[in-house]
Amino acid sequence: MSLVQSHNEWDPLEEVIVGIVDGATIPGMSPGVRVTMPSRYHQFFSENRGKTFQNVDPELCYKAQIELDGFAQTLERLGVTVQRPASRDHSVKYSTPHWESTGSYATMPRDSLIVIGDQIIEAPMSWKSRYYETLAFRPLLKKYFQSGARWVAAPKPTIEDALFLHDGSMEQPWVLSEFEPVFDAADFFRCGRDIFVQRSHVTNLSGIEWMRRHLGNEYRVHMIQFDDPTAMHIDVNFLPLCPGKALANPERVPEIPEMFRDWEILYPPVPNLTDDAELYMSSRWVAINILMLDPNTVIVEQEEPELQTFFRNQGFDVVPVPFRNFCAFGGSFHCATLDIRRNGTLDSIF
């Protein structure tokens, strides 16, 4: 039996990959960075391209690594098998026939990989700095393949200039053209046979169509959109918590997607985390990037007491975990993990 088996975001979690901050490197300014990252840090990205976060902000790295390790230990105490990627130097330059770049990190496994059933799919990411990101996960991918899992990589994009409609500074809906299929895995979430995706500044229509054709008739891929001018990764806008309940960002979801209109939609309180905090790669709404351990249990950031109370009032068991410093890297519990095995079956929820 394959070690890999996961069909949704809420079945009891049995095995997970948790990212690392080792070697995390600052991406340079690019169309995708300009249009999605906080504008107050654009100069930071321009001036520090290719430098490691360790060299630029060592205290942050130290604190984030302690939080990550503590999170992994909490999961293990709760009976979850935890795997970690290999440490790599992401500041090493690499090139293709079209460009050269340094890497990024192995901090957010859900950005570059998605598990659907017994297969792991590598995403064709549109940031040059994330071109070889899955190499840090390669030892684990080989292990899962040897256990019987299907291992698929979407076609590597060339990321030529034609992929971008503008440099990210213009007020247009999207920065990506349809030159070639690209997507980040974190723009998808899973509800059994129904897979939901948002078009974003890292996921184009061609990428969505590639996934639809690849999954075939066994799955239905639905595109949903939100009021998010910096759209990048669906799990800070909308995320199912269990059958019949979903979490929605109150600032970015003015209209509930049609298929969820008979669900109970939960609008969380505004996070304590403020936009003027040291958030290099996200907004304060990263605080709602929670992880479901099972349909009744949710992991929530320790310094978000109102969010914890909110979930308890909705009938969930809450596990508070410190993760504030980690959020500076652009994600929280959901982004920092990749579900490898959840104890459940493939169902049609809708």
Residues 6+ apart with CB under 8 A from 296: 242, 315, 316, 317
- Closest to 336 in 3D by CA, of 348, 345, 323: 323
Round to whole Å and give the CA distance between 118 and 327. Answer: 30
Q: Can you give the length of the chain in residues?
A: 350
Q: Give catalytic status of residue 335 as yes or no.
A: yes
- Closest to 268 in 3D by CA, of 243, 305, 228: 305
- Closest to 184 in 3D by CA, of 108, 89, 102, 91: 108
Round to whole Å and give the CA distance between 244 and 265. Answer: 8
Helix (H, G, I), strand (E, B) or coil at 341: strand
Round to whole Å and give the CA distance between 338 and 345. Answer: 18
Q: What single-letter amino acid sits at 120? A: I
Q: Give catalytic status of residue 334 as yes or no.
A: no
Round to whole Å and give the CA distance between 120 and 150. Answer: 6
Distance separating the N- and C-terminal Cα atoms of the chain: 28
Distances (CA, A) of 72 to 19, 76, 84, 267, 321: 9, 6, 9, 28, 10
Query: Among the options 7, 201, 233, 334, which is catalytic?
Result: 233
Contact call for residues 162 and 179 (beta carbons, < 8 A): yes
Q: How large is the greatest C-alpha to C-alpha distance in the chain, in angstroms?
A: 55
Helix (H, G, I), strand (E, B) or coil at 189: strand
Query: Among the options 111, 334, 335, 339, which is catalytic?
Result: 335
Q: Give catalytic status of residue 184 as yes or no.
A: yes
Round to whole Å and give the CA distance between 40 and 264. Answer: 36
> Residue 36: which H helix or E strand, with range?
helix 31-36
Residue at token pair 């639905």? 222
Query: Among the options 118, 184, 187, 339, which is catalytic?
Result: 184
List active site positions. Answer: 184, 233, 335
